[in-house]
Chains A and B, each alone.
Chain A
């Protein structure tokens, strides 16, 4: 085993005496420091010698890569036992352990049963054969050889040329084929490398990409959408790759979208095509969804939303299939489901925000109204509020929307009103959607830390001037928090400190709401406010749409008209009485069964907890 550790040794690498001692101890020999030092040195030398000898076998086999076999030959000729167990042709990944300075050769466990029962019997090696395939007639032929520097590069100065070579080598490694994405679709590492390369290309401010944007986009799109060969193995984390690629796509679009006309439309079209193609595997759909998500809420609204009804049926079918053979597909389905959920949520929030902003534009002078207009439920946070009643009103609307929504093409897309949208979406996702709006932690992966702190700090200054406002606001904050019931099965529970439940229940309206809840509600709203300085001011106003996106679905139904007519008009706010333990249980059982998926078909208990109070914050 000493040799096996040393195979990777570099020119001046040394085996420390500690290793020697360890190895000796493992065989039950106690070595003194001195002996270990001597031995370590000798081992180093012998390893080096064996490595040097083995390189000879490599050279004569006319290879560039030193193989384990070469090393073993060298050992054999020097009458040393050979190293067994590393004979595989593929490269052994040599990985560091993040914790501690431990390096090891990855040795995955092989499930023999699976292997034995596999239905696809691997084909044997193809027969070695000889083919005549490159000819240079009269020394002319193909004079533009593969693998040389492209003509565009030849005009560069020498320094730049060197740089170019370094770069290409660094990126491509030994593989000139990397440029063709398709050729490496089996290798996630290489795809990742490729994406990083694209990223650095895109981010380089000195680089004019021009028409290359299109090809870059197509490469990235490939990573997002195609059922990569690597996806076949469920162990491969191609999801992350797709996420990253989607992010990259949006980045390209935002930074270089102007270079290619119609790029946005093109991308949307292709994403839509994938989404509407039921034959595509789920991972492609997932890619399409994350792609849309990354392109912004408008894209989601325009493409994903209209398609959802049609798509939902397929997804539902997959998710409802509990057969074992479907397990993998179902897992993929959940992925897609999750992605849609996130996309839709963001879409709703952003839409709401945009509406607010628009509204705010008209009612700029009336900050108080916006803040006060927010409809929030008051509730004792310790208890899980039953979402069912919330969903009740939408039902009717959703049913009518569904018909129109399904056939909706994005070309003839007409903006759907926010409540309608929410209703429809709720019909798909049920409580899991609703939950997201209350407990929602940093969405889009960007909990802006900036806004957070000002918020924290705000407590003190708040007392000075806008004290009044502050008090008004607080109820909303608490409301947003209290909705988050742990029992809901929402995956994002953990950020909420348990103490919260204890502190809040007594005084739901008090300003003592913990800062964590503040930041949470804040974070969801902060995104739209692009300029950070502004966001501080916007925040209180933006709270108006915020709740409206989530639980307010309900409040809107009641008070929506008014909002439409006059912005600062009265709002109805509902609050649940802290009674409904009754209702908590059924949903939980349901949630247990299908933790994240809401269903329309679920019989809704109406008014179970139903004494709504109309509350006027102003």
Chain B
């Protein structure tokens, strides 16, 4: 596992100049050190975090030394000013070695562990480096954080003392300070378990486990089963809980109140935990209300820090071609033939005039290299234009028609569905490890002739594209075999030549839709790959899996180009931004992250879901993101401001499919509860007033207007909705496997 993960790094280091990359990484690291100390300065006694960063650095040094990169070692050491620390570190290193031996089996798991939160916003290369370091340091360092002994019998007293205090403070502060309960509870419990106070731990859990917010029930269930130190080592979720710091947002007033209380009481145990394991993000202003807090909390690691979401995101669409796209089809064609339009994935006539001006939020056209348009692509664009002139304008008064594609005789085995953009093909992934493709149109699926036969045809003829197809193979559907485990997702390339599928066997496979054979198997995840998605421009794709990272690939590279590491649990779904510069990932840790494809940075962390996120959808204009999770809620996010702007309640089961209509007026959601629901997304986006204050603080009052936004609920015949797709004319296609039970 570790060996494979080393692969991409070595590859990249060979390609690029080592010192530059590494110094870049280190400068970032040191920058982080600074910011880390800065942000924790309100905590005053911020010795611990600094030490942690230093240990990280030392680990990097160790790694470099082992790989004989002495030059880099020098640079790093100089920049970090670590010379004097080296000796002590060698000692430390031997200690780490011990931890390594101890956690023999833990190691393999740890190697998957990404990075500490401090290192989160870094380029894809650095995480790997840090990761190596973590392998040695994690167990000893992280667990040693718990080694400080307090009197186990007093834990209950500490906790209930704090509880009493928080319950006695003013209402406005109580809600904020109540956030402390859960992380403190978990850390204290783990500390007890770690120090082998099993009975005290159980009693502690018994006494206070019931107090926690209901949305933490799932975590608590995991927690309550854990009573042995040995179990701690193997449990990745909890390992992450300790490595990452739980983030709380608290107003300054509330924080002062808490601090005073703890200092008066000399409650060092709790104070230590707060310092070492929590990150308190202090803001000036009104304390937040309970509902505000509840809407944002629920994830594994608390809320996102405010500064994480401050990075500018170029959420605009890529520029339309210089020459305005006329509405007439003929002219449209003419321009396309000139080859000027570089790319324009989305919007239409109404936007045509605007597109002349550069969208201030749009990224540079060549921010990431995109493939050239082929002739066939241009033809497709023309088709797209034509179709979209016939598009139905949707709205609350004008709801789309829905066609339901039921997979019969699938025996509960249907796991994933995708439609091509022009709705001509339908692909299904199945638990029996096959992928099946159906032609939705009367046009049958044909293979290209074999090489021998291809030699015989006249290459100069006009209809050569027709001639290369083998009529004998025409059929309504094709089966693609190759995976050795259930297929968890399928994704068509925009040009309809390729299909991606990801599977439990740890691979992503690329299939040709000309020959209906497998072209490439992308190996790298080594654990089940839950989702994969093609870029809207083709060529790139992203995949995410059980190893908690999302990877960016190009179809012609067998190694990933970027590794997006930072999620604390499985990456369950991945989506490309319409401008292809960003990737959104949803995770079992109940967060959504937005990653910059250019540098691999995490630019947004959205918290608020109370269950694993299983579906994502970008609005066609690129400004908004919708996400659905197992808790049956759809959340809407403003990417530019990094804010939650809506909550759509109504579904009663996991939402597996989300899709905006072509113009973005309607959001369709499909769920395990056998319904498709349509939401008024225009209203949802307009209703939110994003004034400066809310934008600055990120504290938003969500209107509880799900019922007003819900435009319709449509029941299928005991068929869970697995996929939704709007045709180019805004007809809604839904798909799912009929389950007789």
Which residues in A have some Cβ–Cβ distance to B below 8 Å? 11-12, 41-42, 44-45, 48-49, 52, 56-57, 59-65, 69, 73, 77, 89, 125-141, 145-148, 174-176
Contacts A130-B735, A136-B712 known; 9 new A-B pairs at CB < 8 A: A57-B528, A59-B630, A59-B654, A61-B431, A62-B737, A126-B408, A128-B408, A128-B413, A131-B408
17 A-B pairs with CB atoms under 8 Å apart are A42-B230, A45-B225, A60-B530, A62-B414, A62-B672, A65-B741, A69-B431, A126-B409, A132-B404, A135-B402, A135-B403, A138-B398, A139-B401, A140-B399, A141-B401, A141-B402, A147-B674
Q: A44-B225, A60-B530 are in contact. Are A130 and B401 (CB under 8 A)?
A: no
Q: Beyond A137-B401, A139-B711, A147-B715, is A125–B527 a contact (Cβ under 8 Å)?
A: no
Report, nearest first, the 3 A-B pairs whose CB atoms are least far apart.
A139-B399, A145-B715, A134-B404
The answer to whether B271 has its CB under 8 Å from any CB of chain A is no
CA of A174 to CA of B720, assembled, Å: 14
Q: Which residue on A lies nearest to B412, using beta carbons? A: A63
Chain A residues, Cβ within 8 Å of B512:
none
- In the complex, which residues of chain B have a beta carbon less than 8 angstroms from the beta carbon of A147? 674, 715, 718
Question: Cβ of A146 and Cβ of B717 under 8 Å apart?
Answer: yes
User: Assuming A52-B222, A133-B717, A136-B401, is B227 touching A64 (CB within 8 A)?
Assistant: no
- Please, how many angstroms separate the alpha-carbon atoms of A65 and B412 in the complex? 10
Contact flag A127-B401 (CB < 8 Å), given A44-B225, A61-B486, A77-B527: no
Interface residues as binary, B402-443 with A (CB distance below 8 Å gives 1, 0 otherwise): 111111111111111000000000101011000010100000
Residues of chain B contacted by A126 (CB below 8 angstroms): 408-409
**Within residues 330 to 376 of chain B, which ones have a CB less than 8 A from any CB in chain A?**
none
Closest to B734 in A: A134
The reply to whether A64 and B672 form a contact with Cβ atoms under 8 Å apart is yes
B226 contacts A60, CB within 8 Å?
no
Provide the bound-state CA to CA distance between A130 and B737, in Å: 9
- What is the bound-complex CA distance between A57 and B720, given in angstroms? 17
Main SS of the interface on chain A? mixed
Identify which of A49, A63, A175 gathers the most chain B CB atoms within 10 Å of its CB: A63
Q: Are A62 and B227 in contact (CB under 8 A)?
A: no
B132 at the interface (CB under 8 A from A): no
What's the Cα separation between A62 and B614 when bound, in Å?
Answer: 10
- Is A128 a contact partner of B407 (Cβ separation < 8 A)? yes
Contact between A61 and B678 (Cβ–Cβ < 8 Å)? Answer: no
A128 touches B415 (CB 8 A): no
Q: Which residues of B contact A61 (CB under 8 A)?
A: 412-413, 415, 431, 486, 488
Q: A45-B231, A128-B410, A130-B405 are in contact. Are A62 and B720 (CB under 8 A)?
A: yes
CA–CA, A175 and B371, complex, Å:
51
B425 to chain A, nearest CB (A): 11
For B737, give the chain A residue with the smallest CB separation: A62
Report if B570 contacts A (CB, 8 A). yes
B411 touches A125 (CB 8 A): yes
Q: Which residue of A lies closest to B438 (CB)?
A: A130
Q: In the complex, how many angstroms separate the beta carbon of A7 from the nearest chain B beta carbon?
A: 16
Which residues does chain A contribute within 8 Å of B517, judged by CB atoms? Answer: none
Q: If the complex has contacts A59-B654, A62-B722, A77-B527, are A45 and B409 also in contact, measured as CB distance less than 8 A?
A: no
Query: Smallest CB–CB gap between A476 and chain B, Å?
Result: 61
- Complex Cα distance, B164 from A262, in Å, reads 72
> What's the Cα separation between A421 and B674 when bound, in Å?
61
Say yes or no: B402 contacts A134, CB within 8 Å. Answer: yes
Choose one: B225, B438, B486; the contact of A48 (CB below 8 Å). Answer: B225
Binding site for A on B (CB under 8 A): 221-222, 224-228, 230-231, 234-235, 398-416, 426, 428, 430-431, 436, 438, 477, 485-486, 488, 504, 527-528, 530, 546, 570, 572, 588, 612, 614, 630, 653-654, 656, 672, 674-675, 678, 711-718, 720, 722, 735, 737, 741
CA distance A77 to B570 in the complex (A): 14
A45, A62, A77, A174 — most chain B CB neighbours (10 Å): A62
Provide the bound-state CA to CA distance between A145 and B676, in Å. Answer: 11
**Closest residue to B678 on the A side, CB-wise?**
A139
Smallest CB gap from B414: residue in A: A62
A217-B27 Cα distance, complex, nearest whole Å = 82
Tell me the smallest distance from the CB of A598 to a CB of chain B, in Å.
49
Q: Which residues of A contact B431 (CB under 8 A)?
A: 61, 69
CA distance A65 to B415 in the complex (A): 13
Cross-chain contact B713 with A145 (CB below 8 angstroms): yes
Say whether B712 contacts A135, CB under 8 Å.
no
List chain A residues, Cβ under 8 A from B488: 60-61
Report A-chain residues with C-beta under 8 Å of the C-beta of B528.
57, 60, 77
- Find out whether the CB atom of A135 lies under 8 angstroms from the CB atom of B401: yes
Closest to B723 in A: A62
**B426 cross-chain contacts in A, Cβ below 8 A:** 130
User: How long is the Cα–Cα vector from A49 to B237 in the complex, in angstroms?
Assistant: 11
Please name all residues of chain B whose beta carbon is closer than 8 Å to the beta carbon of A140 when the two chains form the complex. 399
Is B614 in contact with A135, judged by CB distance below 8 angstroms? no
The reply to whether A176 and B231 contact each other, CB–CB distance below 8 Å, is no
A50 to chain B, nearest CB (A): 11
Q: Are A133 and B588 in contact (CB under 8 A)?
A: no
**B212 CB → nearest A CB, Å:** 16
Contacts of A146 in B (CB 8 A): 715, 717
Q: How far is the CB of A178 from chain B (nearest CB, A)?
A: 11
Residues in B whose Cβ lies below 8 Å from that of A139: 398-402, 678, 711-712, 714
Looking across the interface, which residue of chain B has its beta carbon closest to that of A89?
B411
Taking a contact as CB atoms under 8 Å apart, the answer to whether B408 and A130 are in contact is yes
Q: Is the CB of B407 within 8 A of A129?
A: yes
Residues of B contacting A138 with CB < 8 Å? 398-401
By beta carbon, the residue of chain A nearest B545 is: A60
**Taking CB as reference atom, which chain B residue is nearest A48?**
B225
A58–chain B nearest beta-carbon distance, Å = 11
How many whole Å from B501's CB to the nearest CB in chain A?
Answer: 14
CA distance A52 to B225 in the complex (A): 11
Interface centre among A56, A137, A174 (most CB of B within 10 A): A56
Bound-state Cα–Cα, A92 to B544, Å = 35
- What separation, in Å, do the CA atoms of A132 and B405 have in the docked complex? 4
Minimum Cβ distance to chain B for residue A93 (Å): 15
Cα–Cα distance between A12 and B718 once the two chains are bound (Å): 32
Q: How far is A125 from B438 in the complex, measured between Cα atoms in Å? A: 19
Q: Report the minimum CB–CB distance from A60 to chain B (whole Å).
A: 5
The answer for the CA separation of A114 and B302 in the assembled complex, in Å, is 62
Best-surrounded residue of B402, B614, B653, B735 (most CB of chain A within 10 A): B402
Q: CA separation between A134 and B293, bound complex, in Å?
A: 41
Set A11, A60, A128, A136: member contacting B402, Cβ < 8 A: A136
Chain B residues with Cβ below 8 Å from A130 are: 405-408, 426, 428, 438, 477, 735
A138–B436 Cα distance when bound, in Å, is: 30
Q: For the complex, what is the distance from the CA of A532 to the CA of B713, rounded to whole Å?
A: 60
Please, how many angstroms separate the alpha-carbon atoms of A3 and B26 in the complex? 48
A350–B478 Cα gap in the complex (Å)? 72
Distance of A36 from chain B, by nearest CB (Å): 15
**Is A59 within 8 A of B612, CB to CB?**
yes
Give A41 to B221 CA distance when docked, in angstroms.
16
Complex Cα gap A125–B486 (Å) = 19
Q: Which residues of B contact A134 (CB under 8 A)?
A: 402-404, 406, 714, 716-717
Listed residue (B426, B431, B674) with the most chain A CB atoms within 10 angstroms of its CB: B431
Contact in complex: A175, B741 (CB < 8 Å) = yes
CB distance from A16 to the nearest CB of B (A): 16
* Residues of B contacting A44 in the complex (Cβ-Cβ under 8 angstroms): 225
Q: B432 to nearest A CB, angstroms?
A: 9
In whole angstroms, what is the CA distance A138 to B720 when docked? 21
Please name the residue on chain A nearest to B654 by beta carbon: A59
**A125-B412 contact in complex given A61-B486, A73-B504, A138-B401, C-beta closer than 8 Å:** no
Contact across chains for A41 and B228 when beta carbons are under 8 A apart = yes
Q: How far is the CA of A91 from the CA of B528 in the complex (A)?
A: 26
- Residues of chain B within 8 A (CB-CB) of A41 are 227-228
Chain B residues within 8 Å of A148, by CB: 715
Contacts of B224 in A (CB 8 A): 12
Whether B401 contacts A49 by the Cβ 8 Å rule is: no
B30 CB to nearest A CB, Å: 38
- The reply to whether A131 and B722 contact each other, CB–CB distance below 8 Å, is no
* CB-CB nearest in chain B for A127: B409
